[in-house]
Structure 1
Amino acid sequence: MTVVEERPAPSSAPPPRRVNRLWALLRNSWRQLTSMRTALVLLFLLAVAAIPGSVFPQRGVNAERVTRYYQAHPQLAPWLERLGGFEVYSSAWFASIYLLLFTSLIGCVVPRLLDHVRALRQAPPDAPKRLNRLPQHAEPWSQPGVPAEVAKSVAAGLRRRRFRTRLREREDGSWTVSAEKGYLKETGNLLFHAALLAVLIGVGFGHWYGWHANRILIGGNELGFCNTLTQYDDSTLGPRVEPADLPNFCLRLTDFEATFQSTGQPRTFSATVGVSEDNGPYETRKFTVNDPLRLDGANVYLLGHGYAPILKYTDRYGVSQTKVVPFLPMDAMQTSEGVAQFPDVNIDPKSDKRDSTLQMGFEGLYLPTSPTDGSATSAFPAENNPMLYLSAYRGDLGLDVGTPGSVYSLDQGQIAGGDLKKVSGDRPHALKLGDTWTLDDGTKLEFVGTRPFATLSIRHDPTQVLALVGAVVGLLGLMLSLGGHRRRVWFHVQPDADLAGSPGESGGTLLTAGGLPRTDYPGFEDEFKALVKAAEEGTP
């Protein structure tokens, strides 16, 4: 007996398609990254990541404060250094969050923008068959007129209320009016995110191609400065900026006017400067706190002001040196602290050698208006009764070792080590304007006078216009997004058999209406009733 093996008939269905797991993982990861939820999370993380930049000193802003932080926290500072705590905004982890947010916004905004443009070009959809099932609907009502004319009148009224409308005629002779409003909500939402993207671009390129620096500019033509890094108190250049790229200009402070209220609160600050651009002649310019000095390639902002005492020191050999030293304000009344250092004094004229143990330093307070009770705080920010309270130190100032230090205070390490000794007694010596102080070795210090100084911030941001436009557009988009409400309204206009006359004569129409809010809009019910009432009265 022959056994016939039965085989299944071949299937006409195609074999199952193999799924590329790597491609599926990449696709799902991209979808997660470009979702709005991920963008919001990344924006929150960027805000949190910026907190250490305001808590810990940043090397690009003030390297001296970083050095002091190392001295105050010798165990914590190295760990913060490894984590980028002193250079937060240029660290790898901050840049990664920034780039992920940038990518997420691009992947989120661009597709939605294309979908929104397509939606704007599409006509509102036709009315559903049963308008009475919509959240808002009106009972049918009759009114005289031809359906086509009534439908056109309803559509015209809706257009006057800024609805996008579309008229459609059906096979049974009836007409539908489709109307839609509230696209500005999505437009505002996209404008806001596009503006946020523009601001991020502006911040990024501004960091790369911008620069900023600070300078205390003392009054006097001989104490001006030019736009070079060596003449700034501190400066920061963008990664794509070289020192040779800085614009060529020079400034010198010729006058400074400050007025105060009776309570000591500042009323006006006004600085008059001489400006020379591209080695040209000096021109007189004036600027204030809220009106910066705008130069070609830089803006000069006036941040504050103070006083620089003029001190004349005569050493034991009769040689005099005069210095103008700015004292930094400590409070609103311009109580200021500072130091005057004279390292090149007491040089023996016979051997022309300097004894480093005979250097002089004076540290103390300057009070523009000394109070009558003798306290060490100024009573008013203007110079009504100027007074200097100084302590004298003799020895090695520590300036020859090349270690960076503050020019507004003496080296406390030199004082603690005994290399710099106090020679003025326990109490500071008071000097009025014009007074001369004779020290124990016969040397003299004279308080000659003061000069005003202005605290300047010089900045160049090539993308500040983009950031400003982005901020304004973002605010406008946010207002549109919060104030817009998308909704749809439909009217169905058909011949009314009850009002129809003899054949060939115009009869009446039967209207029905329905509305659908596409977003949460508590006022839609009242708006819908107003539209229906206007249609019933024939004056929509």
Structure 2
Amino acid sequence: MTTTSEERADKERRGDERRPGELNARELGRWVWRQLTSMRTALMLLLLLALAAIPGSVIPQEDVDSLAVTRWKTDHPKLAPWYEKLDLFSVYSSPWFSAVYLLLVLSLVGCIVPRLLVYYRGMRAQPPAAPRHLSRMPVQASYSTTLSADEVLAHARTVLGRRHRLRKAGDGDDYVAAERGYLREAGNLVFHLSLLIVLAGVAMGGLWGYQGGVIIVEGKSFSNNLTQYDDFKPGGLFRQDQMADFRFTVDKFSVSWLKSGPKAGQAREFDAALSYRIGEGPTKKYDLRVNHPLKLDGTDVFLIGHGYAPVITVRDSKGQVVTTGPTVFLPQDASFLSYGVVKAQAASPQLGFDGFFYPTFDMVNGNPVTVFGDDLLPTLSMLAWTGDLGYDNGASQSVYVLDKAKATQVKKKDGKPFRLDLQVGDTVKLPDGLGSVTFDGVQPWIRVQISQTPGKEIALIGVILALIGLCASLFIRPRRVWVRAVPADAVPGAEGTMNGTGETRVEIAVLDRSGNGDMDEVLAGLLAQLQEARQ
């Protein structure tokens, strides 16, 4: 039918002139909401969140180990700028990860809330009435008894009422309807609600918590304030006044090494003996070990790494000590071959050294290596630099990086680089009267992670609820049972119809709503219980 000009004008006045399939703003919003809150979208977002978390477990993260990020950037100078643009060094706080996270929360809320209402109505509803022909059900049985129909139905209610919910009997009903397994759907809902609880707990930790790391040499102390941290990652709503008042000292650090067998050279146990104090309270002792954190007023202290700090003394041309003490060297591999930097900015001219520390030095095929992680034969091998080491411009420097842009490498008379090879107790004089370097000894250091995570208990509750809900949804079998009892004379073709014995015909049917249960055994059990009352 052709639309007349009057009809088109009338539609334009009403504002409903649209092409077929065109949606207005309200309908489009409803369609988008339905797509977002569908279970398929929730599963896709959950998978996408898991995939988005992979870079965070493969690429070093700033909030976990900033030193590892610095080394990675140095080793991959071409990829580092791209990774920074994509926030791959801080995946879990990046805008794209947060967007997926928030969409997943919104989708789960939209999925679960309507299902809660449906489940509530289902819990209040009665079991369905018995089908007219129970004999057509896939799992059914029948028998005859001399009991009356009322007696059979009363006994059926007693048997089924122990573990089933019964349908209220109506006038003239010749059946008993029962149902069980309602907690299966509750398990599904609890599982999905637990995901929201876990996400909420993680979000609380990310917003109100903080996480930092610091390297502490044996014998040194740490106080919980921002100036003491090597790296610090606060949450979005973090306040400095929420930091707990505590301090601790690393009294001793020991490592047990495997010295024989196929795993010789591997570390077995780590133990850092701490003395700690909360506020103005008494000093206490604690052995900090891997997976055994120290809990201090809501803050956790974890042992996450260790290494060596050679004790080095540098003297200038006048024999004056310009720097001395342990210098942290960072491990480069599993054998604890470590790289470090020594700076003597008080010397005139300034002196700098960079090189490697070998815990157990050896020469293999003419190459220096460390054959054991334990410090059995500690050896230093460093190059020397002099001149402007970058302090004159006033810029802050990392203690693990030596600025050589304007420095001059110290060389031998033949023009080759001057290398300092020292073992404990050795002193090497620098060329041209620049001074000397002494290797005094070795001290271990530990790296601790200090974190405050307010929502971790909530996340743990969510995980426990998820396990409970998952077990309920897997092991609870929803089923329906119907028992009908009528006089045998009223059943066409039933036994006893012609002989007038007055027996009662009993029919039983069982339906498994999950579709994968073995109902034959359930039917046999119910049949045996019902026939107990047979006379």
The TM-score, its normalising length taken from structure 1, stands at 0.83
| Segment of structure 1 superposing worse, 26-35 or 471-480 | 26-35
Name the CA shift for 1:231/1:258 in 2 (closer, same or farther; >3 Å): same
User: What is the 5 A alignment of 1:354-369?
Assistant: 358-369=349-360
Aligned partner of 1:350 in structure 2 is none
Matched to 1:370, the amino acid is F
Matched to 2:481, the amino acid is V
Matched to 2:180, the amino acid is K
User: Does structure 1 retain, via aligned residues, the 8 Å contact 2:411–2:418?
Assistant: no
Alignment partner for residue 46 of structure 2, among 43, 57, 81? 43
Aligned partner of 1:420 in structure 2 is 408
Name the CA shift for 1:300/1:80 in 2 (closer, same or farther; >3 Å): closer
Q: Measure the CA separation in 1 of the matches of 2:152 and 2:406.
A: 102
Matched to 1:423, the amino acid is K
Name the CA shift for 1:69/1:448 in 2 (closer, same or farther; >3 Å): closer
User: Does structure 2 retain, via aligned residues, the 8 Å contact 1:368–1:385?
Assistant: yes
Aligned partner of 2:25 in structure 1 is 22
Name the CA shift for 1:106/1:516 in 2 (closer, same or farther; >3 Å): same
Q: Measure the CA separation in 1 of the matches of 2:440 and 2:83.
A: 47
Name the CA shift for 1:84/1:270 in 2 (closer, same or farther; >3 Å): closer
Alignment partner for residue 474 of structure 2, among 474, 482, 486? 482
Aligned partner of 1:203 in structure 2 is 202
Matched to 2:33, the amino acid is W
Matched to 1:308, the amino acid is A
| Per-residue deviation, 1:492 | 0.8
| Per-residue deviation, 1:299 | 0.2
User: Which secondary structure does the structure 1 equivalent of 2:335 belong to?
Assistant: coil
User: How many pairs are equivalent?
Assistant: 501
Q: Measure the CA separation in 1 of the matches of 2:290 and 2:69.
A: 29
| Per-residue deviation, 1:274 | 1.9
| Per-residue deviation, 1:79 | 6.2
Aligned partner of 1:283 in structure 2 is 284
Q: Measure the CA separation in 2 of the matches of 1:371 and 1:481.
A: 61
Q: Does residue 117 of structure 2 align to residue 114 of structure 1?
A: yes
| Per-residue deviation, 1:134 | 2.3
Identity of aligned residues (%): 39
Aligned partner of 1:9 in structure 2 is none
Deviation by residue 1:306-325 (Cα, 9 ceiling, x = unmatched): 22111111211111131211
Q: Does residue 482 of structure 2 align to residue 454 of structure 1?
A: no
User: What is the 5 A alignment of 1:313-392?
Assistant: 313-320=314-321, 321-346=323-348, 358-371=349-362, 373=364, 376-392=368-384
User: Which secondary structure does the structure 2 equivalent of 1:186 belong to?
Assistant: helix
Name the CA shift for 1:156/1:383 in 2 (closer, same or farther; >3 Å): farther
User: Which secondary structure does the structure 1 equivalent of 2:288 belong to?
Assistant: strand
User: Does structure 1 retain, via aligned residues, the 8 Å contact 2:144–2:504?
Assistant: yes
Q: Measure the CA separation in 1 of the matches of 2:181 and 2:506.
A: 24
User: What is the 5 A alignment of 1:213-232?
Assistant: 213-220=212-219, 223-232=220-229
| Per-residue deviation, 1:45 | 2.6
User: What is the 5 A alignment of 1:302-321?
Assistant: 302-320=303-321, 321=323
User: Does structure 1 retain, via aligned residues, the 8 Å contact 2:205–2:454?
Assistant: yes
Alignment partner for residue 470 of structure 1, among 457, 462, 469? 462
Q: Measure the CA separation in 2 of the matches of 1:445 and 1:309.
A: 12
| Per-residue deviation, 1:67 | 7.3
Alignment partner for residue 430 of structure 2, among 439, 443, 448? 439
Aligned partner of 1:516 in structure 2 is 511
Aligned partner of 2:492 in structure 1 is none
Matched to 1:224, the amino acid is S
Aligned partner of 2:253 in structure 1 is 256
Name the CA shift for 1:398/1:241 in 2 (closer, same or farther; >3 Å): same
Aligned partner of 1:189 in structure 2 is 188
The TM-score, its normalising length taken from structure 2, stands at 0.83
Q: Measure the CA separation in 2 of the matches of 1:68 and 1:258.
A: 25
| Per-residue deviation, 1:235 | 0.7
User: Does structure 1 retain, via aligned residues, the 8 Å contact 2:409–2:417?
Assistant: no
User: Which secondary structure does the structure 1 equivalent of 2:169 belong to?
Assistant: strand
| Per-residue deviation, 1:71 | 7.8
| Per-residue deviation, 1:73 | 7.6
Aligned partner of 1:401 in structure 2 is 393
| Per-residue deviation, 1:230 | 2.0
Aligned partner of 1:149 in structure 2 is 151
Q: Measure the CA separation in 2 of the matches of 1:307 and 1:66.
A: 20
Structure 1: segments with no counterpart, 5+ residues: 1-15, 347-357
| Segment of structure 1 superposing worse, 19-28 or 490-499 | 19-28
